[in-house]
Amino acid sequence: MKLTDAVKLLYQSEFGPGHMIPDESASLQRLYEEWENTSHSSSEPFSEAIGNGLVRIYLDTLKKEELPVLNAMFCQTASRVHGSREKFIRDLDFLSLYFPDTESFFSEYKKMGYPPVSHSASYRLAYNPSYRVVMQSHADFLRLIRTLDSFLQKNIPFILAIDGNCASGKTTLSRLLAMYFDCNIIPMDDFFLPPGLRTDERLALTGGNVHYERFIEEVMKPLQNGSEVSYRRFRCDIMDYGDTIVLPPKPFTIVEGSYCMRPELRGLYHYSVFLSCSYENQTARIRTRNGEEMLKNFVSRWIPLENAYFDAFQVKNACSMVIKTG
């Protein structure tokens, strides 16, 4: 590894891809072209951690069918990871401990404005690096895809539950999975308790704010019978039922959302995933997504209710896989 390779590593660990992706389709096309020119080996490392919750995913370990998902992850990372120029400059100082004659390089690099750099010729010759920088959770999502793919090779109906903290990425994961698999997605948000059933007695129950009885009748039983699923979507914005959702039978169904791993429902699923995130990241995401006023509501009401449900029913321990998303 030359000095420029170390600078590139620090740059990517701080800024991720380092720029916004203005055209996802063009990015995907470049990814396909790069993949075509890569020798493929299942024995190579799938990913390599580079710090700050980021990893390099190596293209030579991927199937062509996985590339659209990786590209979506790459674009998501580019839009979410911004880094700190000041921290990057401070981190550069540590390289003088490992590389001689850094002063002239850094002097010129500073004049250039600390831009992204390319791998050295010797590094490219030795490793032929082809990768994309994504978040660690994305690498875990790709591993989940491979796990699910192995189950689905058996050609039997398969149902996945995705539970976890609000703002941990449950909907994002569902959409990424839908890019790879032909599947139905059923959000538990469609089954929140309507006002007429929100009695003090009901709301005193742990996880009682979800209408799991209706979920059993309108979703669980049809799925178990392999028949069409038809249910009325509850809309929290109008506090009433909205349109009817009709889902034809598919080999793979995803049930996503908090409370989908209630004890009454667990027998439905073949596999389950719990997404976790820190309280700090959770509140930051909710603030960005919903605004400051809604954040207050989440902090005072919804997050404590969720946490009580997780603790009472040991939801994380009951899941097949746990993925930390921040």
Residue 48 sits in the same domain as residue 128? yes
pLDDT at position 138: 98
pLDDT at 20 over 80: no
Of 15-19, 66-70, 117-121, which gets the smallest average pLDDT? 15-19
Residue 24 sits in the same domain as residue 161? no
In a domain, 145, yes or no: no
Angle at 80 between CA 73 and CA 325, to 5 degrees: 65
> Average of pLDDT values for 4-17?
96
What is the number of other CB atoms lying within 10 angstroms of the CB of residue 276? 18
Dist CA 185 CA 174 (whole Å): 7
Identify which of 257, 268, 256, 233 has the alpha carbon closest to the alpha carbon of residue 183: 256
Q: Which two structure tokens, joined as six digits, stand for 311?
A: 């603790």
Burial of 238 (0-12, 13-18, 19+ CB in 10 A): exposed
Strand 54-58 to 271-276 pairing:
unpaired
pLDDT at 303 over 70: yes
In a domain, 57, yes or no: yes
- Among 103, 135, 167, the domain boundary falls at 135
In a domain, 86, yes or no: yes
Residue 99 sits in the same domain as residue 242? no
DSSP per-residue letters across 110-171: HHTTS---PPPHHHHHHH---EEEEEHHHHHHHHHHHHHHHHHTT-S-EEEEEEESTTSSHH
What is the number of other CB atoms lying within 10 angstroms of the CB of residue 44? 11
pLDDT at position 145: 98
Give residue 307's domain range. Answer: 154-324
Average pLDDT score, the chain: 95
Q: 235 pairs with which residues across the strands?
A: 240
> Average of pLDDT values for 197-215?
95
pLDDT at 85 over 80: yes
Do the Cβ atoms of 252 and 160 come closer than 8 Å?
yes
pLDDT at 62 over 80: yes
Which CATH number goes with the domain that contains 298? 3.40.50.300
In a domain, 187, yes or no: yes
pLDDT at 42 over 70: no
Residue 170 sits in the same domain as residue 112? no
More confident residue, 42 or 309: 309
- Among 135, 163, 187, the domain boundary falls at 135
- Among 135, 164, 184, the domain boundary falls at 135
pLDDT at position 19: 76
Residue 188 sits in the same domain as residue 273? yes
Residue 110 sits in the same domain as residue 163? no
In a domain, 224, yes or no: yes
pLDDT at 39 over 90: no
> Average of pLDDT values for 211-229?
96
Q: How many domains does the chain have?
A: 2
In a domain, 228, yes or no: yes
pLDDT tens sequence across 93-126: 999 999 988 999 999 999 999 999 999 999 999 9
pLDDT at position 3: 97
Residue 76 sits in the same domain as residue 216? no
pLDDT tens sequence across 141-167: 999 999 999 999 988 899 999 999 999
DSSP per-residue letters across 74-99: HHHHHHH----HHHHHHHHGGGGGTS
End-to-end CA distance of the chain: 30
Do the Cβ atoms of 50 and 11 come closer than 8 Å?
no
Residue 247 sits in the same domain as residue 314? yes
Residue 101 sits in the same domain as residue 159? no
Residue 159 sits in the same domain as residue 254? yes
pLDDT interval class at 21 (50, 70, 90): confident
In a domain, 270, yes or no: yes
Residue 129 sits in the same domain as residue 179? no
In a domain, 189, yes or no: yes
